[in-house]
């Protein structure tokens, strides 16, 4: 991509008023990751951690709908919504069953003694299967991802990932169209 093409894409984003929204997404993601990874799992820090995670997840759903012109954004919002049901039912944390964690073999440091506790470095609360509301929407699918390793995902996560993929495809198709149909000098490019 040439410098001119890159500047053209940035100019289209600026004219569309999207740069502040994209910046907001990045800031919210950074705050959410800080809360999940750096705040404690007990006391006031736990409450702040839960509150920030839940509030930012709701904001992400709204931001996805801000981009409603992309079909994938609707799918992303649906994925977030599917995740919000069990998260809200469990006080701002995503439930994961001890059996699922134990059977995955990926987290040997997590023991039966951790049932009922919020797990560090994540958004999950470890529960017995019978204590999980909306179990079909909880983190329950053990998946090994290249370069990432083993993790446990929910149905909402997969829907969300699919939505991201659809948005990327739609953006790539739009960019390919702009490249194959360049505007004439002086013609608006937005």
Comparing C-alpha atoms, which of 101, 102, 83 is closest to residue 92?
A: 83
For 36-84, how does the pLDDT look when each residue is reduced to its tens digit (9 = 90+)? 888 877 788 888 888 888 888 898 898 888 888 889 999 999 999 999 9
Number of domains in the chain: 1
Q: In angstroms, what CA-CA distances link 24 with 10, 29, 36, 132? A: 16, 8, 18, 33
| Inside any domain, residue 154 | yes
For residues 89 and 28, the model is more confident at: 89
| Inside any domain, residue 187 | no
Domain around 167: 3-180
| Residue 98 host element (H or E) | helix 98-104
| Inside any domain, residue 98 | yes
Dist CA 112 CA 170 (whole Å): 45
| Inside any domain, residue 147 | yes
Residue 108 pLDDT class (50, 70, 90 cuts): confident
| Inside any domain, residue 188 | no
Of the chain, the percentage scoring pLDDT greater than 90 comes to 33
3-state helix, strand, coil in the chain (%, to 5): 60, 10, 25
| Inside any domain, residue 190 | no
| Inside any domain, residue 189 | no
The mean predicted confidence, pLDDT, of the chain is 83
Question: pTM (2 decimals)?
Answer: 0.78
């Amino acid at each position: 991509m040439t410098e001119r093409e890159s500047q053209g894409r940035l100019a289209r984003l600026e004219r569309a008023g999207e740069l502040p929204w994209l910046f907001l997404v990045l800031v919210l993601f950074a705050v959410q990751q800080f809360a999940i990874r750096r705040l404690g799992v007990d006391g006031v820090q736990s409450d702040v951690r839960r509150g920030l995670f839940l509030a930012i997840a709701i904001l992400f759903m709204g931001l996805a709908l801000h981009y409603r012109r992309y079909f994938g954004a609707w799918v992303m919002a649906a994925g977030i919504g599917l995740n919000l049901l069990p998260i809200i039912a469990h006080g701002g944390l995503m439930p994961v069953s001890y059996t699922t964690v134990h059977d995955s073999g990926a987290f040997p440091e997590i023991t039966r003694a951790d049932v009922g506790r919020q797990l560090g470095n994540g958004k999950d609360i470890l529960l017995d299967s019978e204590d999980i509301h909306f179990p079909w929407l909880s983190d329950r699918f053990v998946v090994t991802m290249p370069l990432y390793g083993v993790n446990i995902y929910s149905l909402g996560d997969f829907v969300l990932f699919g939505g991201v993929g659809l948005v990327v495809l739609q953006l790539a198709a739009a960019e390919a169209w702009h490249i194959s149909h360049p505007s004439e000098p002086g013609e608006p490019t937005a």
